[in-house]
Amino acid sequence: MKKLANKKAILVTVSLLFLATLIAITSFANAGIDANYWTSDKFITDTMFTISLVLIGIVFGQAEGDNFFRNKEKGLFQTTYNEYNVKRNLIDKIIDKFKDWNYNLYKVEYYNKCIRYLSDENGIRQAKLIIQLDRSQIMKLNEPQMFVVDNEQRYFNSLTENQINACLRVLDGKIKVKFINESYFLNAFSKNGSKSMYEEASRQQERKRKTFLILTSYRVILTLLVSMVLTAFVFEQQDGVDKAQAFYTLLLRYFTLFSSVGWGIYVANDMIKEDCIFLDYKTTTLQQFYLDVEVNKTFIAKTDEEKAYEKIQSLMEEGIRDGNCS
C-alpha cells in the first residue's frame, strides 16, 4: 500500500511539474488564450485526437501494467497466488467432499443473509427465533405472543405490518443469494460471472468492469478539461511562432500519451488488487473446508444412500401434504 501511494505521488508530482513547465513556456513566449478556438473545427479535430491518445495510452499501460504486476516475483499477486496453491494442494485428498461442503456453505450464507435482512434492514430483534415460525404464527405477531420453539416456550414482541411482511418474504423464499459453483473455489482463475464476501464473489467480474470504466472515464474527462484550456493557447505573431506553436502542441500530446500510460498502469494495479481480494477469499474458503472436514470434523459428507433416503422422505412428505398418498 505504501509503495502504491508513492507511485501515485510520483505520478501527480511529474504531472504538476510538466504543467508548470508548460505555463512557463506560454508565459515567456507571450502566449494567450484564443477564445474562438473552442468553436472552431480545429477544436473538434484536436479533441478527437486527444481522446484517441488517452484511450491508446490507458489500454497500453493497463496491458503492460497487468503483465508486470501479475508476474512480479514476490509481488502482491504472486504471493497471494502461492498461498492459494498451498491450500489447494492441501485439500487434494478430501476433494471429493468439497461439493457437499460448498452447498452447505451456500445454505449458511443464505441463512445469514435472511437474518441480516430481518435484523439490520427491518429492525427485528428476535430474527433467529422468528425465522423458525410458520406463516400462521408470524401473522399473529401484530401483538405479543407465546409460541413453542424447539420444545421450549418462547415469548415474542409485537411487530409492525412492514416487519411481518418482511418475515413472510423470508418464509416465501424471496431473499436471493446466487449460488457459487465449487469450480470457482477450486480454480485460482475461475470467474463467477453492506453484502457478504460470498455474494461479492459472484459479481467479481462486474466489479472489475465498473472499476475500469470509472477510472478510464475519470481520466478521459480530466484530460479533456485540461486540454481545452492548454490547447487554446496561441503564440503572438513573431519570428519562429509556427515552430513554437508546433513544439508546444507536441509537448501537450506527449504529456497526454505518457500520462495516460501511467494512468493505465495505475488502473492495472487496481485490477490486480481486485483479483487478489477474491483469490484471498478462495484461499480462506479452502482453509475453512480443510478445518471443517479434516481437523475439527464438524462437517461429515452424506453417503449416496443417505441422500437417496432423504430425497425419498421429502417426496413422501410432499405427497402426504398434497393428498396423493396416505
Query: What pLDDT does residue 224 have?
Result: 58
Domain map (residue ranges) of the chain: 2-94+182-295, 97-180
Terminal-residue alpha carbon distance, the chain: 67
Q: Measure the CA–CA gap between 80 and 112, rounded to whole angstroms.
A: 28
Query: What pLDDT does residue 238 have?
Result: 46
CB 137 within 8 A of CB 145: yes
Low-confidence ranges of the chain (pLDDT < 70): 1-40, 43, 191-250, 306-307, 309-310, 313-326
Query: What pLDDT does residue 325 have?
Result: 41
Q: Measure the CA–CA gap between 64 and 265, rounded to whole angstroms.
A: 7
Query: What pLDDT does residue 240 have?
Result: 44
Query: What pLDDT does residue 101 have?
Result: 95
Q: pLDDT tens for residues 12-38?
A: 565 556 556 655 555 445 555 555 665
Alpha helix stretches (DSSP H) within the chain = 2-28, 41-71, 76-90, 98-119, 127-130, 135-139, 161-171, 182-186, 197-201, 204-230, 241-290, 304-322
Query: What pLDDT does residue 239 have?
Result: 46
Residues of 54-85 as b/e, b for ≥16 C-beta within 10 angstroms?
Answer: beebbeebbeebbeebbeeeebbbeebbebbe
Output the pTM of the full model: 0.69
Q: Measure the CA–CA gap between 227 and 94, rounded to whole angstroms.
A: 60
